[in-house]
Amino acid sequence: MKVAIITGASSGMGQEFLFQLLEEKSQLEEIWLIARRTDRLMDIKKQVTGVKIKCISLDLTKEEELETFQKQLREERPEVKYLVNAAGCGFIGEFREVPYEKNQTMVRLNCEALMAVTYCVLPYMQAGGGIYQFASSAAFLPQPGFAIYAATKSFVLSFSRALNQELKKKKIHVLAICPGPVKTEFFDIATTTGEIKFYKKLFMADPKKVVRKAIKDGKRKKQVSVYSVSMKLFLLISKCVPHAFLMKFVK
């Protein structure tokens, strides 16, 4: 049974990945959708035809719920063709101003949960499989006012590139997706603790285009997918200009 597993599937980039995988006609027999919001998952399931959808309601920041997911994998032993780690969150504001619990949630969801899900799923992936990890252009540069989020995405980028190299012998490809700001619910939550920088609003991308490019880059076996000329320029600048200098402008 060929399966795709998508975390953060109830909205945003995870939901968009689901619909574009369906368009790809990739001979998937089942897609597992993972998120906390059961009602949203069920609404999405009603929109899908032609492939079986399994809705799995989990809070990936909780160890006991990750164990439940691992147990389900052991029992069903699916052949996982794609893993999409799209679950994540961010909160805007200086480190000391963002509540500790929110900073902790970012680390647990963006880093620990992503690592744990990848670890659980890998034994069920075969040659030709693909792992899509959602990092961010925030990974390119430390970001005062968004410090923990940027740090977690740097983890995702570094981990994904190293894992891609490790899995070459198994012919499993790992892609780190690094978009800039995207028009999703993400910023509705992020701005509960602070205000989004004005210049980020200028570069908001369409999630459909971001995911479409990511799928193409995955087929081309790229290590990193960066959407838009502006974000590619940002990547180039962050490589060429000292970060201490750039951070003055970010702040």
Number of helices and strands in the chain (H, E): 11, 7
Q: Which domains does the chain have, with CATH numbers?
A: 2-250 (3.40.50.720)
Q: Give the pLDDT score at 11.
A: 87
Q: Give the pLDDT score at 23.
A: 85
**Average of per-residue pLDDT across 51-55:** 94
Q: Strands 52-57 and 79-85, how do they pair?
A: unpaired
Nearest to 194 by CA among 88, 96, 86: 96
139-175 CB burial, b ≥16 within 10 A, e <16: bbbbbebbbbbbbbbbbbbebbbebbeebeeeebbbb
Query: Is 174 within 8 Å of 218 (Cβ atoms)?
Result: no
Q: Out of 70-74, 131-135, 177-181, which region has the weakest mean confidence (pLDDT)?
A: 177-181
Helix, strand, or coil (residue 167)? coil
pTM metric for this prediction = 0.91
Q: In what order do the strands lie in the sheet with 125-134?
A: 52-57, 30-35, 2-7, 79-85, 125-134, 173-177, 224-225
Q: Give the pLDDT score at 159.
A: 98
The pLDDT tens digits of the residues spanning 193-226 come to: 666 666 566 667 889 999 999 999 999 999 999 9
Residue 190 pLDDT exceeds 80? no
Residue 192 pLDDT exceeds 80? no
Per-residue CA distances from 59 to 65, 77, 114, 123, 194 (Å): 6, 21, 12, 22, 25
Q: Give the pLDDT score at 245.
A: 86
Q: What stretches of the chain adopt beta strand conformation (E)?
A: 2-7, 30-35, 52-57, 79-85, 125-134, 173-177, 224-225
**pLDDT interval class at 246 (50, 70, 90):** confident
Residue 247 pLDDT exceeds 90? no
Residue 27 pLDDT exceeds 90? no
List CB contacts of 147: < 8 A, sequence separation 6 or more. 94, 95
Q: Token match 């919001």: residue?
A: 37
